[in-house]
Amino acid sequence: MSYYANKKVLVTGGASFIGSHLVDKLVDAGASVTVVDDLSSGKKENLALSMKQISFIEGDIRMQSVANKTTKGKDIVFHLANVHGGRGFIETNPGELVQNFMIDGNVFYYCHKNTVERICYTSSACAYPTSLQSADPKKQVRYLSEEMANPFKEGAALADGEYGWAKLMGEMALKAYNKQFGVKGVSCRLFTVYGPRENESHAIIAFIGRAMLRQDPYEIWGTGQQDRNFTFVDDIVDGLLLSAERVTDCRAVNLGTDEITKIIDAAKTVCRIVGYQPSKFSFDLSKPEGVHIRAASIENQKKWLGWSPRTSFDDGIRKTIDWYSKNVDVQALRANFEKRLFER
């Protein structure tokens, strides 16, 4: 029997891209699922497969009353609710991003007060020091391992902007509840997730959108030489489920693949699979491009979870393109594509 069978589970931000996939798998595993989402970026249609089998609450977790109400009587809380977007959004909305301190504080406080058995907190690779992800080969670290981001370790706390600091502080807060009160949980550092139900503010969907629009020259933000390890959403969800089951001391664990792809190569892969070959790729250095390199060390996820992602980049892109092509209105996309790149 599944670990999650008959468990009372809350997913905050459960109508989001990642959250909705997690909800679907929890329902399949036999859990009793409640979703709370304010629908500021999540969509009810993301939950179409599971809506009749879950309890859905439209509410803002920044409100203490909502955090208190939704965590009562729960065995496990998967905490995904946060103010987030693609690189364009996080570079231009710092005041909104720091509201994540409030969101995480509310969730952890009321999980503890209401004796939730376990908390799975979705952190981010943005928690890692940007100094380790620079273009300087003398400073950069090829694969980031969990101990390299630590607010109490000299040289290990230089997170990626306000969003990264909020995530690192969220990890610290969860660990503090473990230290003082014995709260059980885990922080999962997610690495460049992509897949169906994501929007154009993130690189892969933006690349697919550009290919569908037959953009020429085909625009890429930054130099195109940035490295990422794009991780398919189904793999990330499997990692979240295993993390919540197997890690209880509130440590951080990477969830990512060790398959490294340059941004320019990701764009070319998308174009190849869509069946579109632009005459030229252009590189807009005025746009946010993020850190130069970012890839997960997968050693601890294999050791602690007995798991690693299974979906290759090529296969994941094919699945994502298949979903996007069935759901996008190309004329509407053409009308507001540039605006979508900076939205949540």
Domain co-membership, 142 together with 287? no
Domain co-membership, 221 together with 163? no
- Measured CA to CA, the distance from residue 135 to residue 293 in angstroms comes to 7
Domain co-membership, 23 together with 107? yes
CATH number for position 222: 3.90.25.10
Note whether residue 1 is domain-resident: no
Domain co-membership, 120 together with 105? yes
Note whether residue 120 is domain-resident: yes
**What pLDDT shows up at residue 158?**
95
Domain co-membership, 132 together with 153? yes
What single-letter DSSP state applies at residue 48?
T
Q: What is the 3-state secondary structure (H, E, C) of 254-321?
A: EECCCCCEEHHHHHHHHHHHHCCCCCCEEEECCCCCCCCEECECCHHHHHHHCCCCCCCHHHHHHHHH
What single-letter DSSP state applies at residue 133?
G
pTM score over 0.75: yes
Q: Give the chain's domain count.
A: 2
Domain co-membership, 217 together with 158? no
Domain co-membership, 145 together with 24? yes
Q: Could you list the residue range(s) of the whole structural domain that residue 171 is in?
A: 8-193+230-255
Nearby residues of 272 by Cβ (< 8 Å), 6 or more positions away = none
Nearby residues of 175 by Cβ (< 8 Å), 6 or more positions away = 187, 250, 251
Q: What are phi and psi of 319, to 5 degrees?
A: -65, -40
CATH number for position 169: 3.40.50.720
Note whether residue 3 is domain-resident: no
Domain co-membership, 34 together with 150? yes
Q: Give residue 111's identity as a one-letter amino acid code.
A: C
Domain co-membership, 165 together with 285? no
b/e 89-105 (16+ beta carbons within 10 angstroms → b): bbbebeebbeebebbbb
Domain co-membership, 125 together with 55? yes
Is there a contact between 54 and 34 (Cβ–Cβ < 8 Å)?
A: yes
Domain co-membership, 273 together with 150? no
Note whether residue 237 is domain-resident: yes
Note whether residue 298 is domain-resident: no
Note whether residue 300 is domain-resident: no
Domain co-membership, 274 together with 140? no
Note whether residue 186 is domain-resident: yes
pLDDT tens, residue order, the chain (344 aa)? 599 999 999 999 999 999 999 999 999 999 999 999 999 999 999 999 999 999 999 999 999 999 999 999 999 999 999 999 888 899 999 999 999 999 999 999 999 999 999 999 999 999 999 999 988 888 889 899 999 999 999 999 999 999 999 999 999 999 999 999 999 999 999 999 999 999 999 999 999 999 999 999 999 999 999 999 999 999 999 999 999 999 999 999 999 998 999 999 999 999 999 999 999 999 999 998 889 999 999 999 999 999 999 999 999 999 999 999 999 889 999 999 988 888 88
